[in-house]
Structure 1
Amino acid sequence: MTMTNVVPRGDTVLRSVLHLADLAPHAGGYQWRLSDGAAHLHVDTPDSPAHVLRGVGAVLHHLRIALAAAGWGALIGRGTVPSDQTHIASVRAVRQQPTTEQVAMAAAISVRSSEDADYSEAAVPWTVLNRLAAQARAEGAQLDVVLDHGTRLRMLRRSRSLQNAGVVVVIGVREGEEIAAGAALSAVLLMGTVWGLLGCQLPVRPVVARQVVGPDLVPQVVLRLGYPRT
């Protein structure tokens, strides 16, 4: 008897990693449907609010990373279809060799913490922050570090441990690019976890956050990043 390598079908692989995609930061308002060898992402209503679309972007990015670690790439088609205005994306799996970075980020999916923890006094190096900014740019977004102390404190209002606040960053995108902001959020959180960082979302205070990203972008996400206290 001879042994043969059995290559799983793309839809089988998709089904096996959807639970990892759903670990992305999101506020619900979407659902998956598997048909025609693809995973179809639907929103609950055609006019979904910005926070739902950001979640969709994060979920799609988590799915891409999970597929990559399993040895598959993702062909993503964005947009609605004439027969269903709630259809927002379709994903098909294609064979593709993962990068070392993708494998590391996939491992971070299951261990990432969003807890507003007590951060240590250790500074986050600019080399790490630049890597995170590059992740955001790759998804069509911009990551800015909040350098002004007063602005940082205003953004940290009602969060824990103001004195040991770590770094505060803002993710901005052009108008109407909420899905890109969500993908950038996912990428930054996963890569941050790879580098040993905690990351939690803070409320977006538009007036303050626009001072950070500038007049051409819309601030979509404010993150607090830092090392855990040991």
Structure 2
Amino acid sequence: MTMTNVAPRGDTVLRSVLHLADLAPHAGGYQWRLTDGAAHLHLDTPDSPPTVLLGVGAVLHHLRVALAASGWGALVRRGTMPSDPTHVASIHAVRQQPTPEQVAMAAAISIRTSDDADYSEAAVPWTVLRRLSSQAASEGAELHLVVDHETRVRMLRRSKSLRNAGVLAVIATNDVLAAGAAFSAVLLMGTVWGLLGCRLPMRPQLARAVVGPDLTPQVLLRLGYPRT
């Protein structure tokens, strides 16, 4: 038998990584359609709530990371179509060499856990927090740390945790899909650095006081090391 070095089709590669994209934190309300060599992401309804759009942004980011680790880049075209207001984005796979960071983040997809249990009191180093902030910025969002103690306590009142441990941060941007992508990026990079991460219920008034008047708070995120 003669072996040939035939590169897989882009749609074949997309199909192989969609299950990894679906491991992103999301509230459902979307579906994939594979046509014309591309993956098309659709909402179930054109008037989907922000929680669904946030999850869709995270799913798109997971897909990009999974493709990168497979040696492919993602050409993403966002936007609805006049004939289909449920259409969110079209993704084509293009050949691209992954970075070590992308490979590490892709490996984190399958091992990431979301747990609002007791976190360790061990401090998260500023070097790690800066890396997480950089990930959010690369997706068009800002990561704002909650440093005021009283604000932290009030934000944690809806948490299951019995201890005031870990880091609280607010992801802020005026683009909800970008917020979802930033959420995904921060969670995956946090996992690479050994952190747990979970989304907490957000009180908008408190969150706006943290991020300021120019951006919309989208996600309240808790990060920290697991208690051993």
Q: What's the TM-score once normalised by structure 1's chain length?
A: 0.97
What whole-Å deviation, never above 9, does each CA across 1:51-105 have from its counterpart, x for those lacking one? 1111110000000000000000000010011211111100010110000000000
d(CA) in 1 for partners of 2:134 and 2:153? 25
d(CA) in 1 for partners of 2:206 and 2:33? 39
- RMSD across aligned C-alpha pairs, in angstroms? 0.9
1:21 aligns with 2:21: yes
d(CA) in 2 for partners of 1:61 and 1:2? 38
Amino acid at match of 2:180: G
Residue of structure 1 aligned with 2:182, choices 171, 181, 184: 184
Deviation of 1:159 after TM superposition, in Å, equals: 1.3
Deviation of 1:6 after TM superposition, in Å, equals: 2.0
Q: Which runs of 5+ in 2 are unaligned?
A: none
1:206 aligns with 2:207: no
Residue 162 and residue 149 in structure 1: after superposition, are their counterparts in 2 closer, same or farther (change >3 A)?
farther
Identical counterparts, % of pairs: 79
Contact 1:120 1:164 in 2 (8 A): no
Q: Which runs of 5+ in 1 are unaligned?
A: none
Amino acid at match of 1:34: L
1:112 aligns with 2:112: yes
Name the counterpart of 2:4.
4
Q: How many residues align?
A: 228
SS for the counterpart of 1:156 is: helix
d(CA) in 2 for partners of 1:166 and 1:82? 45
d(CA) in 2 for partners of 1:204 and 1:161? 15
SS for the counterpart of 2:223 is: strand
What whole-Å deviation, never above 9, does each CA across 1:141-191 have from its counterpart, x for those lacking one? 0001100011011111131334342100000002xx100000000000000
